[in-house]
Structure 1
Amino acid sequence: MSATWQDLAANKKQRQHAAIPKDWLITPPNNAQLDVTGIPITSGLLTPFELEITGTDDVDHLLKKLATGEWSSVDVTHAYYKRAIVAQQVANCLTEIFVERALARAAECDNYLKTQGKPMGALHGLPVSLKDQICLKGLETTMGYVSWIGDYAERDASLVIILYDAGAVPFVRTNVPQTLMWGETCNSIFGRTVNPHNRNLTCGGSSGGEGALICMKGSPLGVGSDIGGSIRVPSAFNGIYGLRPSSCRIPYEGALNSMLGQDSTPSALGPMSVSLSGVKVFMKAIIDLKPWTKDPLAIRKAWDEDSYKLKEHGGGKDLCVAIIWDNGLILPHPPIRRALEETKVALEAKGMKVIDWPGFDYEQLCAVLVDVWAAGSADDYAAVTAKTGEPVLSTMALEGEPVGEWLAPPKKGISAYALWQLQKKKSELRKAHLDLWESTRSLTGTGRPVDAIISPVVPYAATPHGKNLDLCYTAVWNALDCPACVFPVSTVNPIVDVKQPRDKFLGKSDELIYKSYDPSVYENSPIGLQLIGRTQEDEAVIGMTEIVDAALKEYRAN
């Protein structure tokens, strides 16, 4: 008798648990403890030295310690692995656990430094976590599908090969929703990943495991993917940094995905980190190793230092930033509005000009993208799950709670011709948006169009499970192929972020989102925003986000 999908899932989960060193198990916190971010410190599992290592808020600092040999890669990897396992026990954020393999790789890095007298590469000895779609040779990559249990990768993804060349130490893989096409993280193998700041809230998705792990400082730097917000949403919900790069800037070849072959709006791999220095060093390290020599779709474009130094943006002086206060579909909750207002004040205090972004038909742009996904997604999911008969998840809601649909594509696909019409419409909208951006030259006073846009990531902070219902604030930038970097701003304060009365709404979605806001439910939920630049301006987006982040830190200090 063949195993059922439930048997396969249970066996995989058991094997995962067995991979945890027994002396790394902790007494789990009471279910009533919602904020578990302090558990790694109070658990007693990590030594003072390991807490010093993992408490680092700057990836550049870590890399300097590793490059000089002051901290060994074995010690750093061991420390992060222990903290990652603590994170797993309180937030359920991991999938693949391979301690001995990672420590052996770390030892290789240490030996190289000792024998060669120089670091192996720009990421020498640094532990790097990977979303569970990025293949590592000899490991299963399930991507939340029971049907993929037992499929072992015969080779590394191109990005992993480059990470090895850069001296990195891949050390864990992180949880995702089945299909990846969710703004939350739950599947039938590993279950639900929760938000470490408040376990009643979602960590976001689809790179939710990465978001929760990095939030717990169980990894200094990780790799997520983003087709409609899947790096940016969990980055915002977990209070970390994350970049959705331009398409094909980071090599995707050899990684698994849903809807492989859909290249109208491709998914992009990108960094998530405890610091902006982690975002920058990842991008530069990967690009410097010429990913276009390993991935035929990777753009042949070297790291542009002039762009990072904002040569085309006045050298970073007299920047003009536009704010999207709302997208014409859903008004943001009070905490998000406050974050936008605080960011504006912080930037103006540094002498920057801040203007309102002109309106655009983002509703149509978002709808086109969703229709592109729906063209064949149901067939794609059915083809994968047919192997075991596992159900395709239709909700991220808690068991027994009302279903909250995030994305429900039509079950019937469309013709190739109909898809071409969608792609044509998207091209027309991209041209219209480009013209709009260029037209802002008359508004900035700098002689340049707006240098960057600052926008909500979603219209709310991290929501209760099953309630992340909106994607348009992020997905439109995928459709436009604009790089976008998330930066943390604040957390929800129920005393300050009170609900404001409203009797008029932009539509049914706006009314639904408005009614969902209860300040006490969202307490302690992180608030992040995104800075958006133009296509292939990844370096400039990082440079401008650094300026905005520094301004906000100075504002909060005062």
Structure 2
Amino acid sequence: MALSRLERAQVWLLKAVTEVLFVLFRFFCPRRSALSGKKLPPVRNPLLLMSATQLAKKIRRKEVSSVEVVQAYIDRIQEVNPFVNAVVKDRFAAALQEAAQVDKLIEEETGGEEVLEDRLPLLGVPLSVKESYALQGMPFTTGLVSRRGIVATVDAPPVALLKRAGAIPLGVTNTSELCMWYESHNHIYGITNNPYDLERIPGGSSGGEGSILGAAGSVIGVGSDIGGSIRMPCFFNGIFGHKTTPGVVSCENQYPPFSGRQEEYLSSGPMCRYAEDLLPMLKIMAGPRVNMLSLNTKVDLKKLRFFTIPHDGGSPLITPVSKELVDIQRKVAERLEADLGVKVQEVHFPELHYSFQIWDTYMVLPDKEGKPPQTFAELMGEPGRPAWPLWELLKWMIGKSDHTLAAIVVGLVEMTRMSKKSSSIIQIKEKLQKEVDELLGADGVFLYPSHPRVAPKHHHPLLRPFDFSYTGIINMLGLPVTQCPLGVGEEGLPLGVQVVAGKLQDHLTLAVALHLEKTFGGWKDPGAN
């Protein structure tokens, strides 16, 4: 099904606007990082090389104290944060006090290790939290200058559940402005760097989370995802992340709040360095809705049906997938076939060609009462009147705007948006949904590129703003997906792949993630790279 002439013209306009803005950026803001050529120090403390599951077990058995573990992570954050600028506000003193209380609780516990494991599975384990989640007593700005000074008075439900399970928050991490860009940069906290190459992006919007986890400054973290905001940072920083089936993990007490039909596409989920932490974290974060998933079901990988989709078919808006990433996805398929005795079938969906248009159309659909979602310009202007992106662009050129160029770009792209009810795009999406759901069923899994290329250099996403569509389309399809690291490539940057399953079949992708970690080695220390 082809786009109309008007829709094709809008595609051309989108490309032209973004290319002009990138040229403006290069002219007005030439950037040479003071960190150019520098590397992170390698991990020296062995406590930093253990999963949260392992740490919790050692803490319960009194083989190590929670204070020792928390202090080790505080030391690492203080060592690496000057390089990556990922943790934007810490609560180190409070965390150490809470760790001391954990150690006292364990000393006084008479029920044994099993009781503690059942009641407090993450007891004493450090945790980092994306700043767009409410964490009581911590900033809650999402990088918007007009929200500077706002402090959370409650915990977002997933954070509260992790804390109730014994996890100890160390602080909050940087995001893109209003969580709507895949580079984590704003005018409150500045720009966050990739631990593998400080001149490259860590992704967004959960970029601070991805960066500090990749730098071994945290072992588990919390992210949110409406277009790839968990998976792109996990890909770029060489860690694991899981976008849950929507509606399982609560997305309340995040900023900005969802509106329109966005709750159908938004997911909260775990981010971590070790695959074995994904399942226990998800069990905790799902809370009362955990029974929607089959997380206790043992998965026999040899009985799954595997597929691979190598690319989106060549959208004119999106960068072609690099040979390096095509090759690694092919190697994953070959290893699955060799290790499991399965057949990985290559499939193609022509509708993926329209991934960005689908994402863009569905993000602005009204809710059941007919109320449209808030516009990005409205969010930029809060608590006052909506921002005027063209005016903000002129202010930005003379250094007077409170907004990043990326946020202004989002506002300008919004102005060129296709009809809110593009019938052709809706028909294309419905056809794709039917085909994918039939392909996957309850026992199918497919591989799909995480992004067209490895972590780009800072600000380069301005030239290719639609490359997030490789992750964004999975949100629109409502599918669970696990981002899996696959070692590092020729430039020393992380490689990876998305593993996607049918709705509510999250346990399948988590099981595949464990297998791929064993096969490809999982996270790699960027300081040793």
For the aligned pair, the TM-score class normalised by the smaller chain equals 0.7 to 0.9
Q: Is the 8 A contact 1:370 1:409 kept in 2?
A: no
Instruction: Say whether 1:484 aligns with 2:484.
Output: no
State the match for 2:64 in structure 1: 71
The 1-side partners of 2:177 and 2:241 are apart by 22
Which secondary structure state, in structure 2, belongs to the residue aligned with residue 322 of structure 1?
Answer: strand
Q: 1:348 to 1:300 in 2, by over 3 A?
A: closer
Instruction: Say whether 1:333 aligns with 2:322.
Output: yes
Q: 1:125 to 1:385 in 2, by over 3 A?
A: farther
Where do residues 425-436 of structure 1 align in structure 2 (5 Å cutoff)? 429=428, 431-436=430-435
Q: What is the aligned residue count?
A: 455
State the match for 1:445 in structure 2: none
Deviations 1:52-107 (A, max 9, x none): 11122x33211211221211111111111111222211111111111111112222
Deviations 1:9-48 (A, max 9, x none): xxxxxxxxxxxxxxxxxxxx9734343252x54xxxxxxx
Where do residues 71-470 of structure 1 align in structure 2 (5 Å cutoff)? 71-117=64-110, 118-119=115-116, 121-257=120-256, 260=259, 262-263=261-262, 265-287=264-286, 289-290=287-288, 299=289, 301-305=291-295, 307=297, 309-310=298-299, 315-328=300-313, 329=315, 330-350=319-339, 351-373=341-363, 376-384=375-383, 391-395=402-406, 408-411=412-415, 419=420, 421=421, 429=428, 431-437=430-436, 440=439, 451-468=444-461, 469=464, 470=467
Q: Is the 8 A contact 1:34 1:197 kept in 2?
A: no
The 2-side partners of 1:482 and 1:209 are apart by 25
Deviation of 1:113 after TM superposition, in Å, equals 1.8
Q: 1:178 to 1:229 in 2, by over 3 A?
A: same
The 2-side partners of 1:109 and 1:408 are apart by 50
Q: Is the 8 A contact 2:36 2:198 kept in 1?
A: no
| From 518, 522, 528, the counterpart of 1:550 | 518
The 2-side partners of 1:407 and 1:370 are apart by 13
Deviation of 1:262 after TM superposition, in Å, equals 5.0
The 2-side partners of 1:459 and 1:490 are apart by 17
Q: Is the 8 A contact 1:438 1:449 kept in 2?
A: no
Which secondary structure state, in structure 2, belongs to the residue aligned with residue 545 of structure 1?
Answer: helix
State the match for 1:54 in structure 2: 48
Relative contact order, higher structure (CA 8 A, sep 6+): 2
Deviations 1:395-425 (A, max 9, x none): 38xxxxxx9x6785323889xxx64x36x87
The 1-side partners of 2:196 and 2:517 are apart by 21
Listed as ranges, the gaps of 5+ residues in structure 2 are 1-32, 365-372, 388-399, 525-529
> What is the percent sequence identity of the aligned residues?
24
The 2-side partners of 1:371 and 1:384 are apart by 26
Listed as ranges, the gaps of 5+ residues in structure 1 are 1-28, 42-50, 291-298, 397-402, 442-447, 494-522
Q: Is the 8 A contact 2:293 2:505 kept in 1?
A: no
Q: 1:306 to 1:136 in 2, by over 3 A?
A: closer
The 2-side partners of 1:218 and 1:440 are apart by 40
Q: 1:111 to 1:259 in 2, by over 3 A?
A: same
- The amino acid across from 1:359 in the alignment is F
Runs of 4 or more above 6 Å deviation: 424-427
Instruction: Say whether 1:535 aligns with 2:503.
Output: yes
The 1-side partners of 2:483 and 2:198 are apart by 22
The 2-side partners of 1:176 and 1:476 are apart by 21
Which secondary structure state, in structure 2, belongs to the residue aligned with residue 138 of structure 1?
Answer: coil
- The amino acid across from 1:71 in the alignment is V
The 2-side partners of 1:68 and 1:305 are apart by 26
RMSD: 2.9
State the match for 2:8 in structure 1: none
- The amino acid across from 2:516 in the alignment is V
Q: Is the 8 A contact 2:447 2:497 kept in 1?
A: yes
Deviation of 1:316 after TM superposition, in Å, equals 2.0
